[in-house]
Amino acid sequence: MCWSHASLPAALRCSVLAALRAGLLLLLALAGCADPVRDRASGSRTSARVTRHTDGDTLWLSEVGKVRLIGVDTPEVFSAVECFGRRAAAFVRRLVPLGTEVRYRLGAEERDRYGRALVYVWLGDGRFLNRLLLARGYARTLTIPPNIEYADGFAAAARRARTRGRGLWAPGACV
């Protein structure tokens, strides 16, 4: 509904209001006010269930097998255990327990050199798992072309986590 001001024709009032709304949306996006862990981008996503956990950035999905989350690198939990590795793995186990249905999409490069499927994963409520790990401070960014679609958003989420002292960036978390 357009505002009514007698000195402006109705069509002009609606055009001005539409331009103001578009400008506001652009400003909010540029200011980073969008939800950092949700993604509304379109794309072909497939449903699968979590069948096994390996660590914070690697899990197993039905019909796919072993998958590696694109754009994130959680600390290691095998051989040389790294600070926050066990917490990152526990976070993923709590967030997507065995049997949880998720949606995933393969990256531009579908497999890594170890044969793992490279994926972006969304939870049932729409949260973007890859970005959520960064936003909560459980991971660092790992950008490997050609899988760069969300790299800027991932970097922004990681910067915010570090600035806010979240997860592995918390004071004293990894001394």
- pLDDT-above-70 percentage for the chain: 73
Is 60 exceeded by the pLDDT of residue 77? yes
Is 60 exceeded by the pLDDT of residue 78? yes
Nearest to 120 by CA among 99, 149, 77: 149
- pLDDT for 84 equals 78
Is 60 exceeded by the pLDDT of residue 40? no
For residues 158, 159, 164 and 170, what is the CA-based torsion angle, rounded to 10 degrees?
60
Beta-carbon contacts of residue 39 (< 8 Å; ≥ 6 apart): 122, 126, 128, 131, 150, 153
CATH class of 46-169: mainly beta
Higher pLDDT among residues 171 and 43, named by residue: 171
Q: Among residues 38, 40, 49, 68, which one is catalytic?
A: 68
The pLDDT of 17-28, averaged and rounded, is 45
Is 60 exceeded by the pLDDT of residue 63? yes
Q: Which residue has 């200011």 as its token pair? A: 31
Is 80 exceeded by the pLDDT of residue 97? yes
Q: Among residues 76, 87, 131, 136, which one is catalytic?
A: 76
For the question of residue 76 being annotated catalytic, the response is: yes
The pLDDT of 169-175, averaged and rounded, is 82
Q: Among residues 87, 103, 116, 136, which one is catalytic?
A: 116
- Mean of pLDDT over the chain: 82
- pLDDT for 124 equals 96
Sorted by where each begins, the domain ranges of the chain are: 46-169
- pLDDT for 174 equals 79
For the question of residue 68 being annotated catalytic, the response is: yes
For the segment 121-132, what is each residue's pLDDT rounded down to a tens digit? 999 999 999 999
For the question of residue 49 being annotated catalytic, the response is: no
